Each structure stands twice: as structure tokens, then as C-alpha cells.
């Protein structure tokens, strides 16, 4: 605002001075041009006074812009902080589920591990009786179709419980043994039987 006033009255002063000079030398309206020039000079002095007091720009406007920047910055970091807290809580919940699975399967089945990147819980049998039973079932799938179905249904229920607890889509898979292949994979309520022998 201040710079605009200085510019306007500065131009008026220059034009008034030139008009006054022209009128004085060429028999023009000296009184009128002199009056306008004086008014312009007064306006110019007022403009300099305004600039001296308030500066070239409005302080309040700068402050408002700064405040908006601070608000946006605070909102951004608050959102990031909230997202980080949510992720940390999810990771904690995933580990809690892992501990519960390990507790449930450690005695009669084996170990349970979790891969966070693929969101996969893996059951690895270490119990000798369980490994023997699973090996027989997968070696003779037709004869043991009912047992395989029962086993699949049990793990399916566990998978649904995991998804419900973590409010997401996770994979629950079962290996044949510690060094064996994956024989059962469950995700989104669908169980897939893998690596069955071709029983005739």
C-alpha cells in the first residue's frame, strides 16, 4: 500500500511541477498548476509518513500468511504423527496375534512365524506325530479327503479370526515340515490345498 501511494503522489508531483513550469514560461494557468503541485507535494509527504509508520507492506497480512503456514505445517505433522502411531499399533497387534498362535500350536503342531512385508503367518510343524499324520494325508489325499477337509476348515476359522482381529487381509499358510513345501494356504476366506500326491 505504501509503495503505491508514494508512486502515485510522486508522479503527480513531477507532472504538477512540469505543468507549473510550463505555465510560468508560456503564459498558462500558473495559479491552478501551482495549487495542484502543492497538493501533490503534500500527498507525497503524507505517503512517506505512512511508509515510515507502517512499512512498505501491511504487517498484519504478513503475519496472517505466516500463521496460515504454521497451521498447515502443524496439521501436516499432526497427521504424520497420527499415521505413525497407527502403524506402530498395527505392528504391535500383529506381534500379539503371533504370540497367541505360537501359544496355540507350540505343543501339538510346531512353530509359527510372521512375515510383515507379505502379511503372512506360517505354521511349521515340528511335532513328529503331526508331521507323520500330515505326510500320510498328503500322500494319500483321496483316502484322507475327510481329514484334509477337517484340517482345512480348522485353519480357515483361524485365518478368519486373524483378519477380524487385525482388520485386514492376511495369509495363513501351513508347511508340510520344517524343510517341506507349503501344503495349505488360506487368504480372504479361501483355502487352497497344495502339493498333494497324485493318488490313483
Domain residue ranges of the chain, discontinuous segments joined by +: 2-57, 81-193
Where the chain has pLDDT below 50, the residues are 1-2, 5-7, 9-10, 14, 16, 18-23, 28-30, 44
pLDDT for residue 60 = 54
- pTM over 0.75? The answer is no
CA of 19: how far to CAs of 3, 5, 6, 43, in Å?
A: 24, 21, 20, 17
Q: What is the pLDDT of residues 120-149, one digit of tens each?
A: 999 999 999 999 999 999 999 999 999 999
pLDDT for residue 20 = 43
pLDDT for residue 74 = 72
pLDDT for residue 6 = 44
Amino acid at each position: 500500500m505504501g509503495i503505491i501511494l508514494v508512486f502515485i503522489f510522486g508522479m503527480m508531483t513531477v507532472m504538477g511541477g512540469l505543468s507549473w513550469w510550463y505555465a510560468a514560461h508560456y503564459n498558462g494557468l500558473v495559479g491552478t498548476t501551482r495549487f495542484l503541485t502543492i497538493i501533490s507535494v503534500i500527498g507525497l509527504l503524507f505517503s512517506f509518513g505512512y511508509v515510515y509508520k507502517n512499512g512498505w507492506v501491511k504487517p498484519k497480512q504478513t503475519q496472517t500468511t505466516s500463521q496460515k503456514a504454521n497451521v498447515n505445517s502443524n496439521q501436516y505433522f499432526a497427521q504424520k504423527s497420527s499415521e505413525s502411531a497407527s502403524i506402530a499399533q498395527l505392528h504391535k497387534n500383529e506381534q500379539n496375534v503371533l504370540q497367541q498362535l505360537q501359544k496355540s500350536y507350540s505343543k501339538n503342531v510346531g512353530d509359527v512365524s510372521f512375515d510383515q512385508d507379505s502379511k503372512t503367518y506360517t505354521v511349521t510343524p515340528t511335532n513328529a506325530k503331526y508331521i507323520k499324520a500330515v505326510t500320510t494325508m498328503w500322500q494319500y489325499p483321496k483316502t484322507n479327503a475327510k481329514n484334509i477337509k477337517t484340517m482345512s476348515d480348522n485353519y480357515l476359522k483361524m485365518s478368519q479370526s486373524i483378519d477380524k482381529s487385525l482388520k485386514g487381509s492376511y495369509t495363513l499358510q501351513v508347511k508340510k515340515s520344517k524343510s517341506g513345501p507349503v501344503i495349505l494356504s488360506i487368504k480372504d476366506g479361501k483355502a487352497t490345498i497344495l502339493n498333494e500326491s497324485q493318488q490313483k
